[in-house]
């Protein structure tokens, strides 16, 4: 349990929670600030398809995938059943989502530009039951839960609910249902373990050292496995790390000229293009220059915080 207080002359007073009266109030906050909160582009509010209504249709440019966002006040709803229904709806009507994206954002997105395997559903609520949390506690289920609470003085606290480190696979539970099996087979939820398995034993140990060093750069840094790399972010992503069999590759999402690198460790990849959307890349196969490389990563962190 997290307790919130305000400090007035060294005296702590409780911060009063101001409940949301309507789901629409939550939806409005998220849609107006979707890029800030989740890093997504809002495609359409109240998107209707096949007699179903999606609260917010979003697009995650980093994973090149659509995201369905639903806002809930009813704690008795099965988020798993509803989540799989929406995932199935999208995968069976891909063209409709492409058309909506292009019409709403005046773009020319093509079917092959979307990584449908990274499609997911996010439920946002002021609270979830223990049953709802446990029902989504699978490492490879494409359903996320986010809690939001509002307090006095216009304070809003948003907390993504993390899956437990020992979470099992959902696939064995979906094999008896053809609809669930089809969705589960097409959707690929990537875990940190999926990436770690790519490296040999030396690289696995090397990754552990670099991971710890990055997380220790500041409080509040989060690790998020993506399809091609592992992203490290604090509000915004500041480092992308790829694991290969015999080495690691670190990409810094900086524009050419932003990095102070007197030893010239970081390679200019501005003309090559990278999955991590950055102009600097560092290949490492040992930890001899760990401290110096962390100084480069720290620069990326500081720059990301000023954007």
22 and 170 both lie in a single domain:
yes
Where is pLDDT greater, at 276 or 251?
251
Structure tokens at 244: 């290969």
Q: Is residue 27 predicted with pLDDT exceeding 60?
A: yes
The residue-averaged pLDDT of 218-241 equals 93
Q: Are 75 and 129 in contact (CB under 8 A)?
A: yes
Share of the chain above pLDDT 70, in %: 97
71 and 86 fall within a common domain: yes
Tell me what pLDDT residue 181 has: 87
Q: What is the mean pLDDT of residues 80-94?
A: 93
**What is the mean pLDDT of the segment spanning 249-254?**
94
When pLDDT is cut at 50, 70 and 90, the band that residue 10 belongs to is confident
73 has a pLDDT exceeding 80: no
pLDDT band at 253 (very low <50, low <70, confident <90, very high): very high
Percent of the chain whose pLDDT exceeds 90: 73
Mean pLDDT across the chain: 92
Are residues 175 and 242 part of one domain? no
User: Which tokens go with 115?
Assistant: 């990584």
Query: Could you tell me if residue 283 is inside a domain?
Result: yes
Which CATH number covers residue 250?
3.90.1150
d(CA 133, CA 138): 10
Q: What was the pLDDT predicted at 119?
A: 95
Q: Residue 261 falls within a domain, yes or no?
A: yes
Is the pLDDT at 26 greater than 70, yes or no? yes
Query: 199 and 153, same structural domain?
Result: no
What pLDDT is attached to residue 274?
58
Q: What is the predicted pLDDT for the residue at 273? A: 60
Q: Which residue has the tokens 């997380």?
A: 215
Q: Do 176 and 45 fall into the same domain?
A: yes
What is the DSSP track for the chain? ----EEEETTEEEEPPB---S-HHHHHHHHHHTHHHHTS-EEEEEEEEETTEEEEEEEEETTTTEEEEEEEE--TTS-HHHHHHHHHHHHHH-HHHHHHHHHHHHT----GGGS-GGG-EEEEEES---HHHHHHT-BTT-SEEEEEEEEETTTEEEEEEPPPPTT-B-SHHHHTT-HHHHHHHHH-----HHHHHTTS-HHHHHHHHHHHHHHHTTSTT-EEEE-SSSEEEEESEEEEEEEE-SS-EEEEE---TT----TT--SEE-TTT--TT--SEEEEESSSTTHHHHHHHHHHHHHHHHH-
Q: How confident is the model at residue 5 (pLDDT cuts 50, 70, 90)?
A: confident
What CATH number is associated with residue 181? Answer: 3.40.1350.10
Q: How far apart are CA 187 and CA 229, in angstroms?
A: 17
Range from 18-27, 52-61, 96-105, 176-185 carrying the lowest mean pLDDT:
176-185
Number of folded domains in the chain? Answer: 2
Instruction: Decide: 266 and 296 in contact? Cβ < 8 Å.
Output: yes
Whether residues 72 and 166 share a domain: the answer is yes
Count of Cβ atoms closer than 10 Å to residue 222 Cβ: 13
Whether the per-residue pLDDT at 231 is higher than 90: the answer is: yes
pTM: 0.84
Name the residue range of residue 148's domain. Answer: 14-186
Return the ∠ at Cα 301 (arms to 298 and 307), rounded to 5°: 145
Q: How confident is the model at residue 142 (pLDDT cuts 50, 70, 90)?
A: very high
Q: Is the pLDDT of residue 148 over 90?
A: yes
Per this entry, what is the length of the chain?
Answer: 307
Residue 104 banded pLDDT, cuts 50, 70, 90: very high
**pLDDT category of residue 60 using cuts at 50, 70 and 90:** very high
Within a domain: 163: yes
The pLDDT assigned to 1 comes to 66
pLDDT bin (cut points 50, 70, 90) of residue 76 is low
What pLDDT shows up at residue 68? 97
Q: Given a cut of 80, is residue 275 above it in pLDDT?
A: no
Query: Greater confidence, 9 or 97?
Result: 97
Output the pLDDT for position 305: 86
28 & 115 share domain: yes
Residues 6+ apart with CB under 8 A from 219: none
């Amino acid at each position: 349990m997290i307790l919130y207080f305000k400090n007035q002359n060294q005296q702590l007073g409780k911060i009063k929670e101001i409940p949301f009266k309507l789901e629409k109030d939550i939806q409005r906050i998220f849609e107006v600030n979707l890029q800030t909160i989740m890093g997504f582009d809002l495609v359409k509010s109240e998107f209707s398809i096949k007699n179903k209504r999606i609260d917010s249709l979003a697009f995650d440019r980093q994973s090149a995938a659509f995201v369905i966002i639903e806002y809930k006040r009813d704690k008795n709803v099965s988020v798993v059943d509803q989540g799989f229904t929406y995932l199935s709806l999208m995968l069976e009507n891909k063209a409709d989502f492409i058309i909506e994206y292009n019409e709403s954002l005046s773009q020319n997105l093509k079917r092959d530009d979307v990584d449908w395997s990274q499609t997911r559903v996010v439920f946002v609520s002021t609270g979830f039951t223990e049953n709802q949390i446990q029902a989504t506690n699978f490492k490879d289920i494409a359903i996320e839960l986010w809690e939001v609470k509002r307090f006095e003085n216009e304070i809003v606290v948003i907390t993504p609910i993390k899956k437990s480190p020992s979470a099992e696979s959902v696939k064995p539970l979906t094999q008896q249902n053809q609809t669930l099996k089809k969705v589960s087979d097409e959707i690929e939820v990537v875990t940190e373990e999926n990436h770690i398995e790519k490296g040999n034993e030396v690289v696995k140990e090397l990754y552990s050292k670099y991971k710890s060093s990055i997380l220790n750069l500041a409080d509040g840094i989060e690790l998020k496995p993506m399809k091609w790399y592992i992203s490290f972010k604090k509000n915004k992503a500041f480092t992308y790390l790829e694991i290969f069999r015999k080495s690691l590759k670190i990409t810094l999402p900086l524009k050419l000229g932003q990095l102070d690198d007197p030893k010239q460790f970081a390679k200019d990849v501005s003309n090559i293009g990278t999955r991590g959307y950055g102009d600097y890349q560092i290949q490492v196969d040992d930890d001899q220059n760990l401290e110096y490389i962390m100084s480069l990563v720290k620069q990326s962190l500081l720059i990301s915080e000023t954007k």
